[in-house]
Each structure stands twice: as C-alpha cells, then as structure tokens.
Structure 1
C-alpha cells in the first residue's frame, strides 16, 4: 500500500488543528450552525437524525492492520462499538459527539487516515478494483493512478465547490469490479496499439433517482495526458453544471442534456486550451509508484491440505466456492469477507471483528486489507495453505457467510435510523 511522506502528514496535521479550532468556536457559540456546516462537511462530519456522523476516507479501499485497529479503537472510544463500510469504500461512525470529532481526526492522522473530501461538492474518495495487485486479469495496478488522482484533487481550489459531489473509479481488468460506468468519471486502463497503457474515459454515469450508464467520450487517452483531460472535464462541468437544482446538478444530467457528442466537443476544446502543461510529470507518477509497498512472494507457497480440507468439510467448500477467487500467483487466493451476515445490516462491522480482520491480515494476508464498493472486505494475498485458518477465524467472528455475489450480498445505506434523506430502514 501507499506510504505517506512528510508532506502528506503535514497536510493532515494542519487540517486537524484547523478543525479543532473551528469546533471550539462552534461549541462556544462563536459560529452558528449555518456558518459551521460548510466547515464540518469539509472534514466529513454530517449532522444526522440523532447524532453527528463522521465519514472516514479509505483511499481506493486500502487499509493496513494498524489502520484497521485504529478504526476499531475509534469505534469503541467514540461510537457504539461498530462502524459501517460504504459504497465508496469509506467507513462511517454514526454516533459521534461534536466535542470528540477533533480527537478522532487526530487518531486517524496518527495512522495516515483522514476524512478530507468525504463530503461536500468536491471530488470524493477515488475507488479502485478491490483485487488490485492480485487479480489474474489485471493490466497493471490501478491504485497508482488512484493515488495520483487523490493527491491532484485533494484541496484543489478550482474543484472544491463543484455543482455537486463528484466520483471517480479506476480499473485495469476486463471484468469491471468498480462499477466504472455508473460513476461521474470511469477510467478503464487499456493497452494502445503502440503497446503503451492509456485509459478509456467514461463520463456521466450514476445511480439514484435518475440512473445512467455513462458513455465513452474517449476510447483511448494516453496515460501521460490523463490529468489535463480530467481538468478539462471538470472545467466543462463547473461551467455548465446546474447550481440551481440539486436534483439536476450531477454531471450525468449535463451529459444527458447536451448529448455525449456535444459534451465531448466541449471537453476536447477545453483540453486543447490546457495543453500538456496541465499534466502531472512522469517522474511524479513514478515517485508515487515507488511509494507503494509490494507483497513478498519470494518463497514458494504450498497448497498444504487445502484440497483435502475442501473435500472433507462442506461448509469450507461453500466458502471457497463463493468467497475465494483466483490470484495472479499460483498457490495464492483472494479471500472475500462478507459483511452481509444473515439478519445483519449490510456493511456494518464491530470493533472486535475489525481487530480480528487486522490479526488475520497480519498473520496470513501480507498485511493488506481492502474495502469494496459492495460493502465487503478483502484479503487479497492469502496462501491457499492458510485459507482454512482464515476461514476458521472468520467463522468464529461471524464473518464467514459464503454469499459473495449471491442474492443476500446486497448493498444498502444505513437507512432511516440515521439519514434524513432515507425512506426505509436498511
């Protein structure tokens, strides 16, 4: 996973100190709720039906065991002992006290986590294939591009007050595990005729009350021109997006109203004005790529008694059939952890379960945990000889439901118990 540097940590320290003072002023009555609202939303803090909710960013769904344990500690100390994973791979704490919010942000910053741009009309958390770096059908690891987009878009002054929230997904596999076509921008890594990598660019997808499958506005964009093209798309959206009607403010409405061809012409014209000066240098992309830790595949894995266990225990066999996927490396598997236990709220996970997942990732999963847009978790690098041990640990914690991609593996918001916009319980 990506290792934060001194600049990343300085940004988080400055932001948490700034928000601590804003909360102090709100509690002292120096700020009204109307004045405080845009400030708290910049830090992922919502005021819901019964309490404040804090949405924590999990960039492209990647977590370390240390970070997962920190989330468990926050759930115990500042919430009601659990968190809720969302469709943007973030985690929400639904019973936060305003006075505690700065301490939570400090606890997050201590493990390189934050809540920046998890709310508001800005570029939200960038999501990726949860199997990134492990999938057998992957062209290259898309997380490098997700991290570059995160750094480019974080606190970007031109795109901090868009007409509406904005969501980007990146995938590098033919099998789209990011739902890229229902994002504001979906980026699909492709190999060009010259052998170089680039992107198919999809714009204007979305769900909600007016669902759209986004059209492709560029079949192939060289990867070294990505950021100037993203800037062009966002400038066109900033210029023409509806600001008078929240229901018509998303870019999907703009693309549908203009038509894909007219929208593309606007973007291409803006892109030509920006030129290559708007692109991130190749050296910076390589710096980001080098900042990612890589799994240790140096020793040859053994399948051990994996096949014998699967043949002997029907419950384990069901788990393997539904929750274990092929890995790019022989002798390894990708283990999906369902947060959709029968009778449980989809996406919810207790603090004890978070600790258990962290322990399993540390012992058997190369210290790598992923959250998914389907509100589940993944251990992407597990030796087949250890899958049975992982299953036993998950089973004891109530996390071994073998239902990935089955009808009970549904996606749901926290619902009416929390959100003023909901009309049903999850």
Structure 2
C-alpha cells in the first residue's frame, strides 16, 4: 500500500471508516493506493493524460498484452481506443450497456496476419475464468474532472484499469441517504463518464451499508447481509458487503453472471442480483456441477429455491440459466413450468426483456409437442402443468433421454410434484 497522502479529512470519522475498508480490500488481494497527490505538475502517477480520464490506460494496456499475447501493438491500440471513446452522446445506461458487452464478450478487432490477410479477432479485456490473471487496484481519493467541476471519490475498484466498483463512505453519524443524495447523485451528474464503466456500488457509514447497480434509485439499493450461505446470521456492515461482493472472484462473478439490462417501457434498467439471489443461484449451480455426470437412471434433483413474493423469482431463473449456459459445457435446454397463463407470460417476458431468449417463443402445448421441442435445438421451452396428465394408474411416458435438460417449476403446488415430467 502506498504511503498516505495528506488527509483531506485528517482524523475525522470518515477516515476511521475509510482506512479499515482499504485494509480489508488489501487483505482480499487488491493492490491499494492513495491518489490524493496523483498529479505532480502535469503528469499523473497512474499515467492518465487528463483528470477527465477514468480508465487507467497503463494498467489496461498491460492487462490486454497479458491476456492477448497474439495481438500486435496496433490491435491493442484499437482496443484501447474502442473502450475509452467518448460515449457522452448516449444515454448513461446505454453507454454503460455498450461497455458492459465489450468487457463481458471481448472487443472485436481486425488484425493482418503474416500473409497480409485481414482476420477478425476478439480481444479479451477481463479473464472471467481465471481471476488471478487480472489486475485489481483499489484507488482512494481519486480526482475526476467533469465539464464544469472536479470531484474526489472515496474508493474506486479498478479491474485491468477499468473502474468497476464505486464505494462512497460517510462518517458514522451521517445517514446513508446523505451518501446517496449529496455524493452519488451529484457524481452521476458532474462526472458521468465514471459510471459508463461501473459495475456495482457500495454506500456505507461503517455500520449501515447498501449496495446496488450503477443507476439504482435510492429505493432499489439493498443490504448485503450474508457472505457464503443463506443460513448465516445476517450482519449488515461494511465488512460484510466488502467480503460479499468486493472479493475479486465475487465482483467478477456478479458483473459477469449476475447483471442484466432489462428493456422496460421508456428505456433500459440495469439490475444486479440481490444477496439471496446470488447465494441461492450459485448453490443451485454447484448442484448442477455435482450431478451433471450422473448415470441416466439416477434422476438429478437440484433442490428447492424459496422466494417470497416480489423477491425476484423470474430474475433468479434468468441468472441461473444464463450462468449455466456461459460456464458449464453442454447443450442445455431449460423447461420452465408454471400453473397459470399469466405467470407463464410474466416469466417469459422477463427472459425476453433481459435478452436471455433470442429465438422465436417456444411454448409446449402438449406432451407430444414438448417431446418434439426437446428433440430440436431450443435453449428454453415454456409450458403449463395443465398440458400434461395421465389416467389414474398410468405412468407418464418418457419424453427424452437427454441428460442436459433442466426443469424449473414456479408456484410448485401439488399439481406439479405429483407427476414427473422428465426422466433425464
């Protein structure tokens, strides 16, 4: 950790909150540095050209070279140019979504091979599968200049030079609402370029802490009470939030697999998983890994994931299915079963609005139709339990021998667990 620069807060309670937070990030594997005195004359110790720049280009270039050893320097230049270009003409959430896709899926770049032929490569910006291959740097007291004013942020977490994690800290006697109203809201207006890259937010006064997505309104920020399991005793504190989402593998997991941009009337909303969704989905996915290679005659049961009303069941399904498709090899098909038309429609709309469903809607209207759909190449099949049934004493016919089918049921009433739909 670099030597402390002159403290703007001296020994106020702000510093008493900030310094333990920095030490905790450092213990989790982040390099840390106080950038209060980053600028000496016209040069920056982090290689920024101006205070308006929010990407640490030196760290970004080093990471790109490490992750893409086959790319020539000219291609690296093009990748940096694409990542850092001005997106101020876009709506903030659209700019953020555009950058998010580049971070998640890579930056397409044209490269000439040794024979002069032009080929398209995809440059990796973050190594999502190998956390240790990335550069994690936590900057405190980071100055950012807007069009008219300059602001100094408390803590910013950079991954490969990209500012993905924003942390705003207040003195213990101040309210969290003050951190939102007086700081975060102001920063979003004055230095909007910082939020073009952001993945998640933490606001805290030490004992009270909330987290959220980049543009969350106050009422949609939420507590992060548990780190590893829903059975833990819930503790709302800055330490819990930092360990829960700031640990390097977790912040990458949340950004890669637990972030959606949902199309709604009037635009796009960015959302990240809440605490119970993150823990529950990852627990279910661990069961998929554990059971995916079982013999065919051993039915794989992943368990029950309880939700209260309004707690985001549909989004949990999206997070679960999308992470499996991205992280676990296989030609997976998800059969989503409900017992009401309106529920079926609601879930389908969530999958469609978040971009999870990109094909023509696949709805099974009978057992025979479901059998047909399962023999085709569909990622998702939606259906109602009422479409299936047998006469008393009859065994429902097997619909598929595939072992890469996952059945998800919502509103799991007695009608849905009396009869097994799939033997897979």
TM-score category (smaller protein): under 0.3
User: Structure 1-normalised TM-score?
Assistant: 0.25
Structure of higher RCO (CA pairs closer than 8 Å, 6+ residues apart): 1
Q: Quick check: which one's helix share is greater?
A: 1
TM-score (norm 2): 0.26
Which structure features the higher share of strand residues? Answer: 2
Larger radius of gyration: 2
